[in-house]
Amino acid sequence: MFENLSERLGGVFDRLTRQGALSEDDVKTALREVRVALLEADVSLPVARDFVKAVQDKATGQAVTKSVTPGQQVVKIVHDELVHVLAGDNEDPGALKIDNAPAPILMVGLQGSGKTTTTGKLAKRLKDRNGKRVLMASLDTNRPAAMEQLAILGTQIGVDTLPIVKGETAVQIAKRAKQQATFGGYDVYMLDTAGRLSIDEELMAQVEQVRDIVTPRETLLVVDGLTGQDAVTTAQNFDDRIGISGVVLTRMDGDGRGGAALSMRAVTGQPIKFVGLGEKMDALETFEPSRIAGRILG
């Protein structure tokens, strides 16, 4: 997921930790290389800049150059700063607010981002790991195939889907899902909203209407991690208009450069809660900042 970045940073820190004493210039040079590595990984410019500055301030403040293992100390500061940029103050990004049954989860995102697949993966996870009774409903009235796709996934993973009624609007389906979830004794109901190829007014207005009807406990944006900074821009747009509570980055099994993961929280203020790591229904992981930071630093 972060192979290139990890390799680049590994090289910088290898050199740094091999040296005994470090001058401030050594640290500066290393951090300049870190900045370039971040930018090459498609981390947004302000995030890369702030990151390096924060590390520099801490390194100077802690008199790194006078310490016994200066190189390792710099690596530790970089690690902690990575955790900070990934998580902010949120220590448990994978946690979902789904206590009061039936808890609505709104799944939003562009078409092709992996929204329907992720809805299935998350439903399976809630069922298997949290013992929740989950109901899924597709609101994609423009694409009957998408509705069928969710129904097929439901059968595959053993999660109920709201029966498809032809001719209903997204709002009507949302109301029916809420009713069914309430009277059917479900813990969670997940609404897979319609996607579009790009953000448009009709899409946003529809998602807003649905949001106002169900008052979601979680609004999760699904974005394709391979799209780098576009993923971050998409998240920003959805957050401005709809208000999201977290992000799921998909296709992190691919050869993306990982920049979206690093910029997301700093730019949008929203945490990444899960990452998609493949097409299979169990290819979903919680996004654990310290583990990811460890992975990046190799």
- Residue ranges of the annotated binding site for GTP are 109-116, 192-196, 250-253
Among the listed residues 3, 50, 168, 253, the single contact to ligand GDP using CB under 6 A:
253
138 is a site residue for ligand GDP (CB under 6 A): no
Stretch that binds ligand GDP, among 2-10, 65-73, 110-118, 287-295 (CB under 6 A): 110-118
115 is a site residue for ligand GDP (CB under 6 A): yes
Among the listed residues 44, 138, 219, 250, the single contact to ligand GDP using CB under 6 A:
250
Among the listed residues 114, 216, 246, 256, the single contact to ligand GDP using CB under 6 A:
114
Stretch that binds ligand GDP, among 48-56, 60-68, 113-121, 239-247 (CB under 6 A): 113-121
SS (H, E, C) the chain: CCHHHHHHHHHHHHHHHHCCCCCHHHHHHHHHHHHHHHHHCCCCHHHHHHHHHHHHHHHHHCCHHHCCCHHHHHHHHHHHHHHHHHHCCCCCCCCCCCCCCCEEEEEEECCCCCHHHHHHHHHHHHHHHHCCCEEEEECCCCCHHHHHHHHHHHHHHCCEECCCCCCCCHHHHHHHHHHHHHHCCCCEEEEECCCCCCCCHHHHHHHHHHHHHHCCCEEEEEEEHHHCHHHHHHHHHHHHHCCCCEEEEECCCCCCCCHHHHHHHHHHCCCEEEEECCCCCCCEEECCHHHHHHHHHC
272 is a site residue for ligand GDP (CB under 6 A): no
258 is a site residue for ligand GDP (CB under 6 A): no
Q: The sheet that has 188-192: what strands, in order across it? A: 160-161, 134-138, 188-192, 103-109, 218-224, 246-250, 272-276, 284-286
125 is a site residue for ligand GDP (CB under 6 A): no
Closest to ligand GDP by CB, 68 or 145: 145
Closest to ligand GDP by CB, 204 or 283: 283
Instruction: Report the nearest approach of ligand GDP to the CB of residue 196 (Å).
Output: 10
251 is a site residue for ligand GDP (CB under 6 A): yes
Segment 147 to 206, residues that bind ligand GDP, using CB under 6 A = 195
111 is a site residue for ligand GDP (CB under 6 A): yes
Stretch that binds ligand GDP, among 24-32, 81-89, 115-123, 231-239 (CB under 6 A): 115-123
Stretch that binds ligand GDP, among 47-55, 60-68, 105-113, 178-186 (CB under 6 A): 105-113
Give me the residues that bind ligand GDP (CB under 6 A), please: 109, 111-117, 195, 250-251, 253-254, 276-279, 283
